[in-house]
Homo-oligomer: A and B are copies of this chain.
Amino acid sequence: MHIPHLHGVILAGGSGTRFWPLSRERFPKQLLNILGEETLIQQTVRRLLGCMTADRIWIVTNHRQAESIQWQLAAWNDQLSPHIVAEPEGRNTAPAIGLAALRLLQEDPDAIMVVLPADHVITPQRKFHHAVVAGTTLAQADYLVTFGVRPTRPETGYGYIQPSLKHPLSKAGRILGYRVTRFVEKPDSRTARRYLRSGRYFWNSGMFVWKARTIVEELQRHKPALFRALQRVVAYSRSSDTGAFARAYRKLEAVSIDYGVMERSEKTAMIPVDFTWSDVGSWASLPEVMPCDRAGNVMSGNIIDLGSTNSVLFGQQRIVATIGLADMIVVDTPDATLVCPKDRAQDVKKVVEALRARNAQEHREHRTVYRPWGSYTILEEASGYKVKRITVNPGKRLSLQLHHRRSEHWVVIAGRARVTRGEEIFDLHPGQSTAIPRETPHRLENPGDQILEIVEVQNGNYLGEDDIVRLHDDFGRPPQQLG
């Protein structure tokens, strides 16, 4: 059922730290498909499609992830792509939501927004839908509506909401929600236990429903400087001056919508929701959302386990052997492994900070990198050479390009390759190869209807992905940038 004037805003920032090494800076949690066939952002879009058409969905993300999000949401790209907003820099939720609200108002002055983080897990869909319907009703009455989740443990990682149970908000005799007495920030563990026992506090899920007009007015009231700055940013965002937009955006006050508006507004309301919710906040939270074996383990990949209990064991192709672990997390990826007790899962971000400090690569990207035409996997990289396996999807082709500082050799291992090399164009089959000298324009294309796979060996004294001159690109990417 589609609700008139309802629009979805998906907040898809995410720094990729808490699920490292499976998540990376350029591949954060919402892009992972650990929980089913679809990734979390795909699941989030599908969740909204129960209430609206794809052209009503907006996605606010950052420039590092925009491309990956676009490929993951390719099924809805035609409708979605004008609504993907790439922040030049994350400035917390208030600027992201304010920007989306102002843009929405220009399209639909009566717009109602459902705001959802891209990386939460919610089941079942039906109950979520009911909550949105109730939220819309309260939003129509100018409330800023939040979804409150009944706590199941004394969690210190969430903010809490105390609803005013004496002031229910009802329609046609049915209670939809409550006015909010107060929002409280993350409590210490004693306070969290008290909240849990009292039964009168709810987790702040970070999901909201409101009129675009209401949130803009409240932003103007409680954060007037931010509001004015956002108006300028919106003007730039529709101009071609991307530099001015970026500069203005970076200057916005980095503040959360909770702290900037919700804690100050008189118009807040909470709907107690009855769907199962998890923000999948760390590796330790996986047992909430994934099936466990009888010993309480969540296991995935090529694991040989002897008697572990209550552990999260995540591998891929390589063998991971675990013996007698209790309450541990082991995550193995092609270039990095994590081992820590469950109760230290929050400290994974410190590892990412340490990697950043030593200017490593392993917090930034995976060995396998997705591109509009397919993907590549770095098999080995060392002084003077790099070996990649490149997968090109049927009918796709890489840009026509050249490199100043490296030569390349291509050996086809599956499918058919159409190679442009200088003036020549020819096809290669499995077991055939070609050499691309430096400075030679070249292009790799998959003209067939099977996957094309090649092994590429690069030689040169500089092998950075930025040694590329794009002469033509099907995907409209800039002349100098990633492959």
Contact = CB atoms under 8 A, between A and B. Distances in A.
Given A306-B350, A385-B413, A340 B355 contact: no
Closest 4 pairs (CB-CB, A-B): A323-B340, A385-B413, A431-B459, A319-B336
A189 interface: no
6 contacts: A321-B340, A321-B351, A323-B344, A328-B339, A330-B337, A431-B459
B431 A407 contact: yes
Contacts of A431: 407, 459-460
A322 interface: yes
A38 interface: no
A362 B321 CA distance: 11
Interface in A305-323: 306, 315, 318-323
A350 B453 CA distance: 38
Contacts of A354: 304, 306
Contacts of A409: 409, 411, 433
Nearest to A324: B344
Contact of A324 (B341, B389, B453): B341
B385 A319 contact: no
B433 A319 contact: no
Contacts of A321: 20-21, 336-340, 348, 351
A339 B351 contact: no
A387 interface: yes
A346 to B, nearest CB: 10
Interface in A335-373: 335-341, 344, 347-348, 350-351, 354-355, 360, 362
A341 B351 CA distance: 22
Nearest to A382: B413
A414 B384 CA distance: 8
A379 interface: yes
Interface in A422-443: 430-433, 435
Nearest to A350: B306
A339 B319 contact: no
Interface in A380-399: 380, 384-385, 387, 389
Interface of A: 20-21, 304, 306, 315, 318-325, 328, 330, 332, 334-341, 344, 347-348, 350-351, 354-355, 360, 362, 379-380, 384-385, 387, 389, 407, 409, 411, 413-414, 430-433, 435, 453, 455, 457, 459-460
A232 to B, nearest CB: 42
B384 A387 contact: no
Nearest to A383: B414
A336 B318 contact: yes
A357 to B, nearest CB: 10
Contact of A455 (B20, B348, B385): B385
A225 B304 CA distance: 43
A322 B330 CA distance: 9
B380 A389 contact: yes
A430 B386 CA distance: 12
A339 B344 contact: no
Contacts of A336: 318-321
Contacts of A335: 318-319
A111 B325 CA distance: 52
A328 B327 CA distance: 13
A351 B432 CA distance: 41
A453 B385 CA distance: 10
Nearest to A413: B385
A478 B320 CA distance: 36
Nearest to A453: B385
A337 B340 contact: no
Contacts of A411: 409, 457, 459
Contacts of A380: 379, 389
